[in-house]
Amino acid sequence: MAYDYDFLVIGSGPAGQRAAIQAAKLGKKVLLVERQAVVGGVCINTGTIPSKTLREAVLHLSGHRERGIYGASYSVKQNITMSDLHFRTAHVIRHEIDVTRHQLQRNRIEVVVGNGKFVDAHTVSIEDVPGRGTRNVTADKIAIAVGTMATRDKKIPFDGQRILISDDILTLEKLPRTLTVIGAGVIGIEYATIFATLGVRVTLIDKRDRLLPFIDREITDSLAYQMHQHRVTLRLGEEVKGIEPVKDDKGDRVRVTLVSGKQIVSEAALYSIGRTGATEALDLKAAGVEADDRGRLKVNESFQTSQPHIYAVGDVIGFPSLASTSMEQGRLAACHAFNTKAECVPSLFPYGIYTIPEISTVGKNEEELTQEGIPYEIGKANYREIARGQIIGDSAGLLKLIFNLETRELLGVHIIGEGASELIHIGQAVLAHKGSIDYFVNTVFNYPTLAECYKTAAFDGINRLG
């Protein structure tokens, strides 16, 4: 059968972009369908890029990075407003949209704005196409990269200003003095630390009894300690019973009631209990594909759904739901679709969590190795021991190496502190080549740099061996 396109991608986020571009580079005719008027998906418009830009604006304007040297009262700007933060965010979003649009254009990828909906396993109806109404197209291979949307509870009266989801932060008019964050996942905890850095009194609530359970416990314990230093109240192991707006002598506020009977009243509440796959409007049944109760799609190791020619990539397939991993999934799916060899090692995917301070990890953590019965030892370096750490004023940072007790092979790297998400790639490269911690001992790092932490941590680990 002759199809209109070799490859049709639904969604223009990181996964969709990379899948479309990879297929185009293989000489395929590609159509990218995006329901929004701008490309980039959640990543560029409401998620990754805006939140990280907002974080950077907060770090600069609050003077947070320099407080270790100039004192807790230091700030670049007094009375920081949401407008101050939105100014920088809007600039970066515009630039990233333009870069993405240009990448698609130069790879000769046809982009159509409209709502994609399956007619059958090879046909997609594109509705609301500007100037063209509805258009049906066929494709040999299809990739679903629609991403996710913030999960909402229908019982909660969201208004975007007092009771909000993460998307609403980009249109928040006033910086609250107090904030309750419900859900300590990656998004919730990132925004909790961002607002706390601005001096907002934050209360963080989560049903789990620890932060970020997939991260090394020593790292999350350090994060919890530093959050306490910023006056964040952690209510872990607590479940929310109700959220309601209230009006009292202090004005319009929000009351969060816990199952335990506790009540937390604040100027605003951020509801961040997870995300749901944006698959509801796709009519997946027409294609013979099913989503779970959270709208996510199940795939095999090649990112194929129950229909072998239909792939799913990015946040819509669930954990780890990171832009970096989504890009790689898109590339791998396109290569597999057109029988092109591509190699990847998921165990070496790094995680970057942009809390304040930021966290990044790659490889195994202590709990995983203990469960697997692998003998290991650790080596640690505190930023305060490193000249660069003193220069930048970060005395709380930590780099931790985990290595095999017998062979000294590096097994994992875990970092909390300034530049963690950049620093992690040194360890990632050594892990990829199955190197030992002796590599760090025998390597000369620029001085003064945070990279010296690797050498210090390696020496610490060797000393522990006796």
CATH of 163-273, one of 1.10.760.10, 3.40.920.10, 3.50.50.60, 2.60.15.10: 3.50.50.60
pLDDT at 250: 80
> Is residue 396 within 8 Å of residue 417, measured between CB atoms?
yes
Intervals of the chain under pLDDT 70: 129-132
Residue-wise pLDDT for 307-348, tens only, equals: 999 999 999 999 888 899 999 999 999 999 999 999 888 889
- Let me know if the fold of 5-150+276-347 is the same as that of 357-464: no
pTM: 0.93
pLDDT at 142: 98
pLDDT at 173: 94
Q: Is domain 5-150+276-347 in CATH 3.50.50.60, yes or no? A: yes
Domain boundaries, the chain: 5-150+276-347, 163-273, 357-464
Q: If we measure between CA atoms, which residue out of 338, 293, 285 comes closest to residue 318? A: 293
Buried b (16+ CB within 10 A) or exposed e, 330-363: bbbbbbbbeeeeeeeeeeebbbbbbbbbbbbbbb
- CATH homologous superfamily for the domain 357-464: FAD/NAD-linked reductase, C-terminal dimerisation domain (3.30.390.30)
pLDDT at 129: 65
3-class secondary structure, 242: strand
Which amino acid type is present at position 392? Answer: I
Residue-wise pLDDT for 65-122, tens only, equals: 998 889 888 999 989 999 999 999 999 999 999 999 999 999 999 999 999 999 999 9
Residue-wise pLDDT for 199-209, tens only, equals: 999 999 999 99
**Which helix H or strand E contains 266, and what residues bound it?**
strand 263-266
Q: If we measure between CA atoms, which residue out of 396, 400, 395 comes closest to residue 415? A: 400
Q: If we measure between CA atoms, which residue out of 321, 379, 393, 314 comes closest to residue 353? A: 321
Question: How far apart are alpha carbons 260 and 146 in whole angstroms?
Answer: 38
Block residue for tokens 């996964």 = 15
DSSP strands (E only) in 3-129: 5-10, 30-34, 110-113, 115-120, 123-129
- Give the Å distances, CA to CA, from 160 to 150, 165, 168, 250, 277: 13, 7, 5, 20, 21
pLDDT at 132: 67
pLDDT at 343: 84
Question: How far apart are alpha carbons 330 and 303 in whole angstroms?
Answer: 9
